């Protein structure tokens, strides 16, 4: 009997034990949960970024429309508010559905601007356009329109 070797199955080589399988499943579960939370957080950040860009565009658009309004008519827009999801142009045309999460409001107030370096005072109207969502103000822009010389 030379060269013939009989081996017995080694009890340590039978595969994964139940405990090893449970530990591997728990580790896999934690990894899947962490990846899922990261994806969810990145989607929320992307949505908020998109909303900020759209808010800036909506504020700038309304400010451009107001800049074209005759000076004497500007006070009629004080307090103008478009609720979230119901923004329209000054002409009444509805905004696209991509603006569904935004609303905006206008403040027009008479004010006097003083240039300290020149000692000059200018009467005019301060216009503030604020774009908001259901939770907070997102963008606020303002401008000063001087009173026309008659």
In this predicted structure, the answer to whether residue 11 has a pLDDT above a threshold of 90 is: no
In this predicted structure, the answer to whether residue 14 has a pLDDT above a threshold of 80 is: no
pTM of the predicted protein model:
0.73
* SS3 per residue for the chain: CCCCCCCCCCHHHCCCCHHHHHHHHHHHHHHHHHHHHHHHHHHHHHHHHHHHHHHHHHHHHHHHHHHCCCHHHHHHHCCCEECCCCCECCCCCECCHHHCCCEEEEEEEEEEEEECCCCEEEEEEEEEEEEECCCCEEEEEEEEEECCCC
What pLDDT shows up at residue 119?
Answer: 83
What pLDDT shows up at residue 10?
Answer: 58
**Dist. CA 77–CA 43, nearest whole Å:** 36
| Average pLDDT estimate for 84-99 | 92
Measure the CA dihedral 106/111/117/120, to 10°: 130
What pLDDT shows up at residue 72?
Answer: 94
Across-strand partners of 108? 127
pLDDT in tens, 98-137: 999 999 999 999 999 888 888 889 999 999 999 999 999 9
pLDDT in tens, 36-88: 898 888 888 888 888 999 999 999 999 999 999 999 999 999 999 999 999 99
Q: Which of 129, 49, 132, 50 is nearest to 83 (CA)?
A: 132
What pLDDT shows up at residue 41?
Answer: 87
What pLDDT shows up at residue 102?
Answer: 95
């Amino acid at each position: 009997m030379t060269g013939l070797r009989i081996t017995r199955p080694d009890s340590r080589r039978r595969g994964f034990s139940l405990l090893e399988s449970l530990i591997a499943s728990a580790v896999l579960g934690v990894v899947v949960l962490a990846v899922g939370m990261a994806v969810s957080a990145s989607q929320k950040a992307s949505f908020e970024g998109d909303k900020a860009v759209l808010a800036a565009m909506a504020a700038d658009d309304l400010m451009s429309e107001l800049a074209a309004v005759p000076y004497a008519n500007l006070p009629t827009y004080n307090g103008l508010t478009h609720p979230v999801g119901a923004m329209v142009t000054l002409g009444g045309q509805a905004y696209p559905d991509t603006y569904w999460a935004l609303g905006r409001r206008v403040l027009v107030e008479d004010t006097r601007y003083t240039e300290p370096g020149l000692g000059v005072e200018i009467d005019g109207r301060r216009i503030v356009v604020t774009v908001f969502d259901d939770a907070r103000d997102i963008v606020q822009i303002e401008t000063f329109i001087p009173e026309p010389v008659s």
